[in-house]
Every structure is written in C-alpha cells, then in structure tokens.
Chain A
Amino acid sequence: MSLLTDEHLSHIGDRGPQKREIATRRDIRKYAVATGQSLRKFLDGDVAPPLYHVTLFWEIVELNRLTPDGVYIDTLIPTLPLNRAMAGGLEIEYFQPILADDELIAERQLTALYEKSGRSGPLIFYEVITDVNTVGGEPVLREKTTRILR
C-alpha cells in the first residue's frame, strides 16, 4: 500500500516564496572555517566555497516551528506520513561564483515526490530545484536537492 496519496502528489510543481539574501564576507568566512577550507580566497571571504549557498538559503525558522528532533518541516513539502529527515544529495550547475557582498535571489520548486522500500522500512524521497540568480536576473547556480524521510 502506498504511503503517498493523490493529495500529496498534487503538490508536485509547488513553488516557495523568493528569498533575497546578501552573501556577507563575515558569513562566508564563518562557513569556510566551519567546513575546514584551506584556500585563502575562501577563508578571507572573497569568494564563497561551492556549497556556501546551502547555508545562505537554509530556512531560518523560529523555535516553536522546530520538531522535537530539532528540525523543521519544509513548508514547500506537504505533510507526509514519514518525518525523520536523512541527508540526501545535491546536483548543482554553476554559472558564476558567489563573491562577498553579492545580493542573490533564490526560488525553490518541488519537482518530485516518491517512495521506495529501504532496509529499515519505507522511505519517502522528494526533490526540490533551487534557482539562484543575481538581483539583476543573471543565473548563479541551479541546484537539485534530494531529501529522504524515514
């Protein structure tokens, strides 16, 4: 029996609100240190490491919206019968690097929702495409994130 209903699947194609953020040198530096970068351009915050945008556009949620395991339920995703998040993977196409003080706009779309059987039971997968552009509309990157719920 499928865990995903037609109502769940009807959300495929939904889009989230635009997010507009500035890649500050300080935040780039913090990310570079926390990830253990060795290249000076990253540690000095001149250029953002290739996965910096993950933190730049990670949802900042208020404490009362966190679940007991400390995560938030992505509002782009419908309420699903499984909710323990496992890391998935990313596919990213890069068009230009992110530099200190760049102002960027991200838009997300739910593009897939499906289930599979795992070793410890059913798993739900969803895919979200994020387009990051400059405020002038030039593409910076396109990312497809796959997340797994158990």
Chain B
Amino acid sequence: MRNTLKLSELTIGDSILGRDYACDNVQLMLYNASLWNGHRIHYDHPYTTAVESYSGLVVAGPLIGDWLTQCLMEWLGEDGELLRFSYSNRIASYVGETLTSSGKIISIEQDTRNLELELLVCNEDGEVVAPGSACVRLMG
C-alpha cells in the first residue's frame, strides 16, 4: 500500500519512481483514435519510413507527455493537487521501444506547501525523449 506523502518527510532530490511504457500498434491506434489524429506517421509504416524518413511508426508526442503526468499523479495520489505542468518532445520514439518515466523533487516551499518537480521520459539508450516539469501543492 502506498504511503501518504508528508511535507516534513520530503527532501529536495527525492526520486519519483516511474514505470516502463512499451507502446504497441494497438495502443497507438487507440490513442490517436481518441484524439482524432489521422497523422499517417502513427499507423502507415511505408509512408512513415519512405516519405517522412522516420525509422518506424512514431509514438504520438502528447501520449509521451501524458506518461509524464502519470508518473507524477501516481506518486501524488490524493495527497495534493496539480498546479502546473509543462513538457516538450525532444526526439522521436518508435513502436517497439521501451520508454521509462521518472522524476525528482527540485524545490520545496514550506509556506505554500508547493513542490517543484522535474519529470523525464527516457529511451533505452538513456536519451531524454521528453523532459517535463510540474508544480504540485500538498494537502495540509
């Protein structure tokens, strides 16, 4: 069972345990369908490689962004609220790759109970695919 987050027990540099994501064709199709995103680089392999010169079907950028928020929200649980979140997509990721999310606390503001966090999704080579940041407020 997950422990309740307590401000007094948190320290700058504390890690947030993320998880692995291995997006397959099915998940990529369902995600883009829910988005209504018809970009062929997500389902048309010949087009993606021959015309757009990617090495495989491209995992949707906002889906990777969502994985950053999952890393955060699974850690935060019901112990706080999300105030701000940002991310960008640095490099393309492809179906078949395993990506890993992680995070760490980079600042703690005792007065407001706000925490700033750094979030990352990295590929198997350790390259940062999508860096992100967030600010959350812990409940009193």
Which A residues are within 8 Å of any B CB, using their own CB?
Answer: 27, 30-31, 33-39, 49-51, 54-55, 58-61, 66, 69-72, 84-94, 97, 146
Contact call A38/B74, Cβ cutoff below 8 A:
yes
A36 to B69, CA, bound (A): 11
Contact call A71/B39, Cβ cutoff below 8 A:
yes
Number of A-B contacts (CB under 8 A): 100
Contact call B69/A89, Cβ cutoff below 8 A:
no
**B24-37 CB contact bits vs A (8 Å, 1 = yes)?**
00010011011111
Contact call A55/B34, Cβ cutoff below 8 A:
yes
**Is B82 on the interface with A (CB-CB < 8 A)?**
yes
A37 to B31, CA, bound (A): 12
Contact call B73/A92, Cβ cutoff below 8 A:
no
Q: Quick one: closest A residue to B76, CB to CB?
A: A39
Query: Which residue, of B62, B77, B81, has the highest number of chain A Cβ atoms within 10 A?
Result: B62
Contact call A58/B89, Cβ cutoff below 8 A:
no
Which B residues are within 8 Å of any A CB, using their own CB?
Answer: 21, 27, 30-31, 33-41, 44, 47, 51-52, 60-63, 65-67, 69-70, 73-74, 77, 81-89
Cβ of B43 to closest chain A Cβ, rounded Å: 8
Given A54-B62, A94-B84, check contact A34 B33 (CB 8 Å): yes
Q: List the B side residues contacting A85 at CB < 8 Å.
A: 39
A71 to B58, CA, bound (A): 14
Given A36-B70, A90-B65, check contact A55 B35 (CB 8 Å): yes
